[in-house]
Amino acid sequence: MIRMQPLRRFGELRLLVLVALLLVTGFVAVVATELASFAPVQPVVPLLFIALAVALHLFLVTIGFRGDQLLLPLMLALTAIGLIEVERLASNLLLQQLSWCVVAAGVFVVAILVPRDLSVLARYKYTWALLGIALLLSPLLPGLGREINGARIWIGVGFAQFQPSEAVKVLLVIFFASYLDEYREVLTMKRLGPLPLPPVPYLLPIILMWGMAMVVMVFEKDLGATLIFFGIFLAMLYLATGQTSYTLLGALLLFGGAYLAYRSFGHVAVRVDTWLEPFAGDTRFSSGYQLVQGLFALGNAGLLGAGLGGGLPERIPVVWSDFVFDAFTEETGFLGGAALLALYLVLVFRGMIIALRAPTTFLQLLAGGLSFIIAFQTLVIVGGNARLIPLTGVTLPFIAYGGSSLVANFLIVALLLRVSDVTARVRGPA
Amino acid sequence: MEVTFAVLLWGVRIAFLVLLYLFLIRAFAALWRAMRVEEAVAAKPTGLAFLVVQKSHSGGPRSGARLPLRALTSIGRDAGNDVVVNDDAASSKHALVSFRDGEWWVEDAGSTNGTVVNGTRITAAERLHYGDEILIGRVAMRLEQ
């Protein structure tokens, strides 16, 4: 990356002022409702976050960054809503979440500065693939892996824990982007009737990655990550080849595999049965309790909601990590919930435009895949919370409590910004 | 006193929603503007720079033609190239011109007769400046902004 003269980013700054106001207002609303349990640390957290936002903005200005001005405010607005919700739902975790914001911002800065040229990512594609596989399997190692709430998806060193599948998502997109960029002609060449018939050796690495995703489901019992991995795999295959038949075939494989999993694994069957009939018999007091409480929260929302701090979202178990969307919607109403989804829409749309504008195929696939992660993850968790699809353990990007997810999502936005920066430099001042 | 506090609290809660929508509208507006710019850019077929044909022959690109360059442009006899040089002395995949970190570079793509920059046949990737002349087969082109 070439250092250039500092460039004023007024568009970004204007939006960041709104983010700061939004955060302060939200905190005031939540804290005012529970004045009895007021702690002096509460007003400090939003101020520190605003300082962090300003620091990131000034950092981009000083290095003469030419990339997009919309992504950073969007990312920080969603993170700010996340802080408000953590304060509302689990205020004892607030400082921890703020520290994760600082760590994520650090990763963001490194990702903006370090790869001098993004094509480095493409050059070491097999390194990324191997690293991804190693990370994916690491929770299965005795001593390192930890099982929390029935899913063995964590690695822990001392008291710090990390969910490697979050990092694997990003590595998977980088690997697929570079691999498909190199071999996409081969993959679209031969056909057998309506089906494309690519030479098998070229498909092997892809199938290997897919097999790894299946391992996650069987041995680590992580439905959410499996769904995300498979979604990334299908979406990027479609982005690179434009073949609808691949996507259809993949969707068939997914439904077939899901049905087999439903029949053979107890933890999958429970999820599906709970989804189909959460109110049936004892389900609503046992496995369906969380979902039913979430549905009551949504039903309680109305147009304006109960007001931030005024609802009863704490009646949903583990609400701060699994059901933040329901909690937010209960207290801000249909208007708030719709606005939240619209924020994700703008973020993903912006990412897709960056992908369309990118100068090389690799960068296009990279930006497209990264935007897809955010879109698909939001769809899967909000759909799960609203009982549109079975509930899976996916985090609501930027908002749900959790460090690994926050760091990975900041990294995704940093990479999208890098792609838009390359585009802006190639095209010259627009 | 109680009533005033409740009213104030609801004021703050409504203010939060208003700010949320204000931010959303601003973000949508920015997105909209960016798409307008995008349409304008797409409407005029410009490249980052051009190869202007200096010397050609019958069947090749006409002299004076401005061939637009992208971030990565392939040149050769094959119709699949970004810039097609229809000349017997050109190879089907002849050369690659690329824009990296603000600089133009040209490299030979394994052609039979080689790529010549300013009169010298190149062996490795060669930095191009505006005004430099590339010879591919019998077609001479100059890099211009």
Tell me what pLDDT residue A430 has: 46
CA distance A32 to chain B (A): 7
| Contact (Cβ atoms closer than 8 angstroms) between residue B27 and residue A73 | yes
Instruction: Tell me which chain A residues have a C-beta less than 8 angstroms from the C-beta of B17.
Output: 304, 332-333, 335-336, 339
Residue of B nearest to A307 (CA): B13
Structural element, H or E, at residue A75: helix A71-89
Q: What is the pLDDT of residue A200?
A: 65
pLDDT of residue B64: 75
> What are A406's two structure tokens?
């926050």
User: Are B13 and A349 inside 8 Å of each other by CB?
Assistant: no
Residue of A nearest to B37 (CA): A430
Only one residue has tokens 């950073």, namely A72
Alpha carbon B85 to chain centroid, angstroms: 20
**A160-162 vs A151-157, strand pairing mode:** antiparallel
DSSP string, A150-210: TEEEEEEETTEEE-HHHHHHHHHHHHHHHHHHHHHHHHHH-EETTEE---HHHHHHHHHHH
Residue pairs spanning A and B at CB distance below 8 A: 101
In chain B, DSSP finds a helix count (H) and a strand count (E) of 1, 11
ipTM of the predicted structure? Answer: 0.88
Q: What is the pLDDT of residue A173?
A: 92
Q: Is B30 on the interface with A (CB under 8 A)?
A: yes
Interface test with A, best of B2, B12, B130 (most A CBs within 10 A): B12
pLDDT of residue A388: 92
CB of B27 less than 8 A from some CB of A: yes
CB contacts of B101 in chain A (<8 Å) are 1-2, 117, 425
Which string of b and e fits A9-32 if b means at least 16 CB within 10 Å? Answer: bebbeebbebbbbbbbbbbbbbbb
Q: Which residues of chain B have pLDDT under 70?
A: 1-2, 41-47, 58-60
The tens place of each residue's pLDDT in chain A, 430 residues long, gives: 445 566 778 889 999 999 999 999 999 999 888 777 777 777 889 999 999 999 999 999 998 888 889 999 999 999 999 999 999 888 888 888 999 999 999 999 999 998 777 878 888 888 888 888 888 888 777 767 777 666 666 776 655 677 888 888 999 899 989 888 887 767 666 555 555 566 666 667 667 766 777 777 777 777 888 888 888 888 988 888 777 777 787 788 778 888 888 888 887 888 888 898 888 888 788 888 889 999 999 998 889 888 888 888 888 888 888 899 999 999 999 999 999 999 999 999 999 999 988 888 899 999 999 999 999 999 999 999 999 998 888 889 999 988 899 999 999 999 999 999 988 887 765 4
Query: CB of B37 within 8 Å of any CB in chain A?
Result: yes
Report pLDDT for A345.
96
pLDDT attached to residue B58? 62
* Interchain contact, A70 vs B21, CB within 8 Å: no
pLDDT of residue A251: 81
Q: Order of strands across the sheet with B133-136?
A: B66-69, B49-55, B139-144, B133-136, B115-117, B120-121
Predicted confidence at residue A195, as pLDDT, reads 58
pLDDT at B43: 62
Distance from CA of A413 to the nearest CA of B (A): 16
At residue A332, the pLDDT reads 93
What's the rounded Cα separation, in Å, for the pair A363 and A418? Answer: 10
The alpha carbon of residue B92 is apart from the nearest alpha carbon of chain A, in Å, by: 17
Q: Do A26 and B14 touch (CB under 8 A)?
A: no
CA distance B53 to chain A (A): 23
- Give the residue on B whose Cα is nearest the Cα of A359: B71
Task: Report the alpha-carbon angle A168-A170-A175, nearest 5.
Answer: 90
B24 contacts in A (CB within 8 Å)?
A: 339, 342-343, 346
pLDDT reported for residue A112: 92
Q: For the whole model, what pTM was predicted? A: 0.80
State the smallest CA–CA distance between residue A257 and chain B in angstroms: 39
State whether A308 and B16 contact (CB < 8 Å): yes
